[in-house]
A and B are shown apart, each in its own frame.
Chain A
Amino acid sequence: MAILEFRKIYAVWYREIKKMINSKPRIIGSLGMPIFMLLALGGGIGALVKDFNYQAFILPGVLGQVLLFNSIFSGVSVIWDRQFGFLKEMLVTPTKRTTLAIGRMMGGATTSVFQGILILIIGMTLNIIPVISAIDFALLVVLMFIIACAFVGLGISIASTIEEAETFQVIMNFIVMPIFFLSNALFPTKQLPNWLQTVAGLNPLSYAIDGFRNIIIGESQYPLMLSFTYCSAFLITIVFVSTYLFKKAKI
Chain B
Amino acid sequence: MIEINSLSKKFKKVNAVNNLSLSIKKGELFGFLGPNGAGKTTTIHMLTTILPPSGGSATINGYDINKQSDEVRKSIGIVFQDMTLDDKLSAYDNLKIHGILYGLENNEIEKRIEEMLALVELSEKKHELVKTFSGGMKRRLEIARGLMHTPAVLFLDEPTLGLDPQTRRHIWSYIIKLKKSGVTILITTHYLEEADALCDRVAIIDHGKIVAIGTPKELKSNIGGNLISIECDKPKKMAEIIEKNNFGDFKVLDEKCTIKINNGSEIIPKIVNEAHNNGVKIESIDFHLPSLEDVFIHYTGKTIREETPGRGMKHGHP
Contacts and interface: CB of A to CB of B under 8 A. Distances in A.
Given A85-B80, A86-B85, A94 B48 contact: no
A13 to B, nearest CB: 10
A93 interface: yes
B78 interface: yes
A11 interface: yes
Interface stretch (A16-24, A170-178, A195-203, A237-245): A16-24
Contacts of A30: none
Interface in A63-102: 84-86, 88-95
A11 B84 contact: no
Given A18-B93, A92-B49, A4 B103 contact: yes
Given A19-B86, A86-B85, A94 B74 contact: yes
Given A18-B93, A22-B88, A92 B82 contact: no
A93 B97 CA distance: 11
B73 A11 contact: no
Contact of B100 (A8, A89, A251): A8
A15 B96 CA distance: 10
B70 A94 contact: yes
Interface residues of B, number: 27
Contacts of B102: 93-94
Interface in B127-157: 129, 145
B14 interface: no
Interface in B64-114: 70, 73-74, 78, 80, 82-90, 93, 96-98, 100-103
Contact of B101 (A19, A23, A85, A90): A90
A23 B98 contact: no
Contact of A92 (B73, B89, B129): B73
Contact of B98 (A10, A19, A88, A93): A93
A14 interface: yes
B103 A88 contact: no
A94 to B, nearest CB: 4
A249 to B, nearest CB: 13
Contacts of A251: 50
Contact of B93 (A4, A15, A84, A88): A15
Nearest to B81: A85
User: Quick one: which of B73, B88, B145 has the most chain A CB within 10 A?
Assistant: B88
A84 B83 contact: yes
Nearest to B82: A85
A10 to B, nearest CB: 7
A89 B88 contact: no
B101 A8 contact: yes
Contacts of A18: 89-90, 93
Contacts of B89: 15, 18-19, 22
Contacts of A8: 100-101, 103
Given A15-B93, A94-B74, A85 B84 contact: yes
B146 to A, nearest CB: 10
A22 B129 contact: yes
A247 interface: no
- In this complex, which of B48, B87, B93, B101 has the most chain A Cβ atoms within 10 angstroms of its Cβ? B101
Given A15-B86, A22-B89, A88-B50, A10 B73 contact: no
Contact of A86 (B78, B86, B129): B86
Given A7-B100, A86-B85, A92-B50, 17 more contacts: A8-B103, A10-B100, A14-B93, A14-B97, A15-B89, A19-B88, A22-B88, A22-B89, A84-B83, A84-B87, A85-B83, A88-B80, A90-B101, A92-B78, A93-B102, A94-B70, A94-B74
Interface of B: 48-50, 70, 73-74, 78, 80, 82-90, 93, 96-98, 100-103, 129, 145
17 contacts: A8-B103, A10-B100, A11-B100, A15-B93, A22-B90, A85-B82, A86-B85, A88-B80, A88-B84, A89-B80, A91-B50, A92-B49, A92-B73, A92-B78, A94-B70, A95-B101, A251-B50
Q: Give 10 nearest A-B pairs by CB, closest first.
A: A85-B84, A11-B100, A93-B101, A89-B84, A94-B73, A94-B70, A11-B97, A85-B82, A95-B101, A86-B86
